[in-house]
Structure 1
């Protein structure tokens, strides 16, 4: 695919967004990339030859000016931490709901395609497995609710006007480098690795067997690049409306199991075997003991599959 295209990425200074820009540059050096962020948490400023512009998705006029000419918008900007969203509910609403509506309204007016991740947080406690995008929605926190509001809004905006891919994404882990800068985030696996590096115990909230599905940040970025490639074809064909995909791995260990993996690899790699401490759980969170996800849609329609594993990635993190 060599046709010239313009892709805009919001949240481009962040954990996922910066990797997406880098993967797009490698896969499609002929494409023009616009990178936007308000630098709320993201601290990447340059990605190859692309400078990240300071643009806040809440400012619709400035946003539309920055997005002008985009064929595809990858809308990755969000207040994504559960605690951050609970403590700053107005901000989460303004960014995650109003900001997403601003992006979707731009796409509706211009016909630009849209990529949007909406998180497993929309599900609450899953009641059947494997999980698919058809699972009922029952979010347990404000973060999940803001993502659900955006999912429904995009369905309405896109109908008859532009193609959109919505991604039900599992828990992230790993880190990556942008021009020599390590980009990471305090996800649970990264948190455990950091505790082990610092010689601290690994703290696990009760009951300890609660499971999550884990997917590496680079694998997620690769999925979004495949999405953009499919959206180019859909734009050329005049297709509109929403397609939904599951982005996950086949690894869904309980949290204590994850801590044990980190403990055992730390003993091998850094000669330190951290204790595992079980603590009272202060959160109202999903407590299922399995988290299998069916990724058939992404595999068949996007040609995507995971390349990273939890154990190999933990080992690599502890070796650096």
Structure 2
């Protein structure tokens, strides 16, 4: 298959290119230098010229706090970008996978969110990603939307790298304990997306590593596996104020992955061990 992957300089885009390139597919990885996804005519011209079999859309405005200030920029990237790509995909008959987020939910649940549950984003980031989902549904009869959360990978900044750095520098860190979710290793997420896009089992999926933890528990496990003696102090979200509200519970139900016969992502602790090996 011939793939176009957006956001190739990000964590997920990088791993998708790596895995697909090793599997004898034709892979075109693009970032903003190659294509401005907020430019409608440029997107259409590019996709019509390349004529991919599938578009894996990973590019996004992911700075949750900055999105509160830069609403127009976040909307252009997170909503209009997917809209133009969906229109272009429709025109050339390409499949499309749009990567979305747990932030489309308000985080007030106590059970894992199912893909068909009502959405209610807390802030601009979630609102703009949800708008992107709606455009994808509007312009494509068949689509893949993959919501994920707490993503980390080798290529880019993430919570794991930050903890390792702060642990080295300070020997003591404070991490919120009242936000619950599931970490996601981009190597595993990329493998799932590749399996998904080669099927005809369209729809909305939730994909994270298995298991649940708080950010505090995630940090404790990072230092434990890295063999670092770092004191981790549990904080409340109120003690760590940020411009954008965070969902306090963002566990996504992965039942559909198994129901549709796809390979479930491994447990988050196992994935973390693989990542730390990759880092070293």
TM-score scaled by length of structure 1: 0.77
Deviation at 1:147, TM superposition (A): 0.9
Confirm or deny that 1:82 pairs with 2:64.
yes
Matched residues in 2 for 1:285 and 1:77: separation?
Answer: 21
Q: Which moved more, 1:300-309 or 1:64-73?
A: 300-309
Residue 211 of structure 2 is aligned to residue 211 of structure 1: no
**1:296 Cα deviation (Å)?**
2.3
1:180-191 aligned at under 5 Å gives the runs 183-186=155-158, 188-191=159-162
Contact 1:124 1:286 in 2 (8 A): yes
Residue 245 in structure 1 maps to residue 224 in structure 2: no
Find the counterpart in structure 2 of residue 303 from structure 1: 262
Deviations 1:129-177, CA, capped at 9 Å, x for gaps: 1221112111011010001111111111113xxx21001212212x33x
In structure 1, the residue matched to 2:89 is 107
Contact 2:219 2:232 (8 Å CA) reproduced: no
**Structure 1 residue aligned with 2:124, among 131, 139, 142?**
142
Report if aligned partners of 2:173, 2:230 keep a CA contact under 8 Å in 1. no
Q: CA deviation at 1:21?
A: 1.0
Structure 1 unaligned blocks of 5 or more: 40-53, 177-182, 235-241
TM-score (normalised: structure 2): 0.87
Q: Name the larger-Rg structure.
A: 1
Distance (Å, rounded) in 2 between the aligned partners of 1:108 and 1:7: 15
Could you tell me how far 1:282 is from its partner in structure 2?
0.8
Alignment match, 1:38: 32
Separation in structure 2 between the aligned mates of residue 297 and residue 67 of structure 1, nearest angstrom: 31
Structure 2: which 5+ runs fail to align?
A: none
1:274 is aligned to 2:231? yes
- 1:197 CA drift (Å): 2.9
Name the Cα RMSD after superposition: 2.4
Please report how far the alpha carbon of residue 190 of structure 1 lies from its aligned counterpart in structure 2 after TM superposition: 3.3
SS of residue in 2 equivalent to 1:230: coil
Change (3 A) 1:8 1:213: same
Q: Which residue among 32, 37, 45 is the counterpart of 1:65? A: 45
Summarize the Cα distance change of 1:113–1:307 in structure 2 as closer, same or farther, 3 Å threshold: same
Partner SS for 2:143: strand
Q: CA deviation at 1:14?
A: 1.3
- Shift in Å, 1:209: 2.9
Shift in Å, 1:111? 2.0
* More contact order relative to length (CA 8 Å, sep ≥ 6): 2
- Provide, for residues 54-111 of structure 1, a one-character-per-residue CA deviation record: whole Å limited to 9, x for no partner: 2110122222232231111111111112113223222111111111111011122222
Runs of 4+ displaced beyond 4 Å: none
